[in-house]
């Protein structure tokens, strides 16, 4: 690697395009040559462990709940039901019940306006456990760091930042391989920060191309070099050719559509351990990117 500790993010503007499949295979291939750590930053729906057949509770090195968010707590003894907090809560998380303010914790964003406007000083922001981090020592010789946001909680981007800190603290590495969430929201932005390279995965559909361009705006904002991979390229050969031409200087490779991939993941069989055509195609992608970064 040109950098002593290289951060490579696999991202996609659209979900379901094969991002985690590619990340899992690249992690297994890279682990044979470099000391790596794999990080799943799709905190709303982490699934990299499934692609790596690491779904059991075996070999868990760390499991902890974390707090990166706050919620309002109302002192009912101090509250006189004046309604100032309700008038100013843009998230509609408060209502009057029995002449006192009552909070709906699933709507509260922890912004603190209610605390500021309350004339009785009856509201206090308190930290809450809104997510968890787990580290698994995989059978392939590298640690997998997974983060998950608890249902109904906020702060996905902050959770991602904590996951990356934990991955850094877990030990020395030469490559950090980050499986980002789809889209362009907070967790994606947090995943891309301080990255050295992004691999953008898309599919040859109108929505796939549109969303590729959306996430590319974020990548270019951070001035991150990028490469493009088209998955399921043969379901629309003409659009694949258009994507390949449009991103000619950054085109990395393509992966064929194969229903057997779904059978493999259903059986928790990593792509690298199959005899599928996709395995060969991902190896070619790996060899090309390894030459460019190694």
How confident is the model at residue 29, as a pLDDT?
97
CB distance 48 to 218 below 8 Å: no
Q: What is the mean pLDDT of residues 12-33?
A: 95
How do residues 185-205 score in pLDDT, each as one tens digit? 999 999 999 999 999 999 999
For the residues 25-46, what does the mean pLDDT come to? 95
Using a pLDDT cut of 90, give the percent of the chain over it: 89
The 3-state secondary structure of the chain, one letter per residue: CCCCCEEEEEEECCCCCCHHHHHHHHHHHHCCCCCEEEEECCCCCCCHHHHCCCCCCCCEEEEEEECCEEEEEECCCCCCCCCHHHHHCCCCCEEEECCEEEECCCCCCCCCHHHHHCCCCCEEEEEECCEEEEEEECCCCCEEEEEEECCCCCCHHHHHHHHHHHHHHCCCCCEEEEEEEECCCHHHHHHHCCCCEEEEEECCCHHHHHHHHHHHHHHHHCCCCEEEEEECHHHCHHHHHHHHHHCHHHEEEEECCCCHHHHHHHCCCCHHHCCCHHHHHHHHHHHHHHHHHC
Question: Tokens 């040859």 label which residue?
Answer: 204
pLDDT value at 15 more than 80: yes
d(CA 76, CA 73): 9
Identify whether the C-beta of residue 138 lies closer than 8 Å to the C-beta of residue 52.
yes
How many C-beta atoms surround the C-beta of residue 120 within 10 A? 16
What is the Cα–Cα distance from 148 to 135, expressed in whole angstroms? 12
Q: pLDDT of 244-272, one tens digit each?
A: 999 999 999 999 999 999 999 999 999 99
Domain 69-128, what fold?
Answer: Alpha-Beta Plaits (3.30.70)
Per residue in 107-162, pLDDT tens? 999 999 999 999 999 999 999 999 999 999 999 999 999 999 998 888 899 999 99
Inter-residue contact 254 to 281 (CB < 8 Å): yes
Q: What residue spans define the domains of the chain? A: 6-67+131-293, 69-128
The pLDDT of residue 140: 94
Q: What is the mean pLDDT of the chain?
A: 94
- CATH topology classification for 6-67+131-293: Rossmann fold (3.40.50)
What is the C-alpha to C-alpha distance for residues 14 and 146, in angstroms, rounded to an integer? Answer: 21
pLDDT of residue 83 exceeding 90: yes
Is the pLDDT reported for residue 14 higher than 60? Answer: yes
Q: Are strands 131-137 and 60-66 parallel, antiparallel or unpaired?
A: antiparallel
User: 22 with 10: CB under 8 angstroms?
Assistant: yes
Three state DSSP letters for 262-288: HHHHHCCCCHHHCCCHHHHHHHHHHHH
Written as six digits, the tokens of 260 are 């057997």
User: Strand pairing of 36-40 and 175-182?
Assistant: parallel
Least confident of 18-27, 200-209, 285-294: 285-294
Q: Mean per-residue pLDDT for 91-112?
A: 94
pTM over 0.75: yes
Mean pLDDT of all residues in 232-242:
97
Q: Within 13 Å and on the Cβ side, how many CA atoms surround 20?
A: 24
In this model, does residue 44 exceed pLDDT 80?
A: yes
């Amino acid at each position: 690697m040109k950098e002593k500790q290289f951060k490579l993010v696999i991202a996609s503007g659209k979900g379901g395009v094969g991002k985690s499949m590619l990340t899992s295979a690249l992690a297994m291939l890279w682990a044979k040559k470099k000391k790596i750590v794999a990080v799943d930053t799709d905190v709303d729906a982490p699934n990299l462990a499934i692609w790596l057949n690491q779904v059991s509770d075996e070999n868990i090195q760390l499991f902890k709940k974390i707090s990166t968010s706050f919620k309002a707590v109302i002192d009912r003894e101090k509250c006189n039901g004046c309604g100032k907090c309700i008038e100013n809560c843009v998230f509609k998380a408060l209502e009057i019940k029995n002449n006192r303010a009552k909070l709906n914790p699933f709507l509260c964003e922890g912004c603190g306006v209610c605390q500021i406007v309350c004339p009785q000083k009856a509201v206090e922001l308190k930290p809450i456990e809104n997510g968890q981090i787990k580290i698994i020592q995989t059978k392939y010789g590298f640690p997998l760091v997974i983060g998950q946001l608890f249902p109904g909680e906020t702060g996905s981007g902050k959770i991602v930042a904590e996951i990356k800190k934990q991955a850094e603290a877990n030990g020395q590495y030469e490559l950090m391989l980050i499986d980002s969430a789809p889209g362009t929201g907070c967790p994606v932005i947090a995943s891309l920060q301080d990255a050295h390279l992004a691999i953008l995965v898309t599919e040859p559909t109108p929505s796939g191309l549109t969303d590729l361009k959306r996430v590319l705006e974020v990548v270019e904002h951070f001035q991150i070099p990028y490469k493009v991979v088209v998955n399921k390229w043969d379901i629309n050969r003409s659009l694949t050719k258009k994507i390949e031409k449009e991103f000619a200087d950054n085109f990395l490779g393509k992966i064929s559509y194969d229903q057997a991939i779904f059978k493999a993941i259903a059986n928790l069989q990593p792509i690298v351990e199959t005899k599928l055509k996709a395995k060969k195609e991902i190896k070619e992608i790996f060899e090309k990117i390894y030459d460019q970064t190694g």
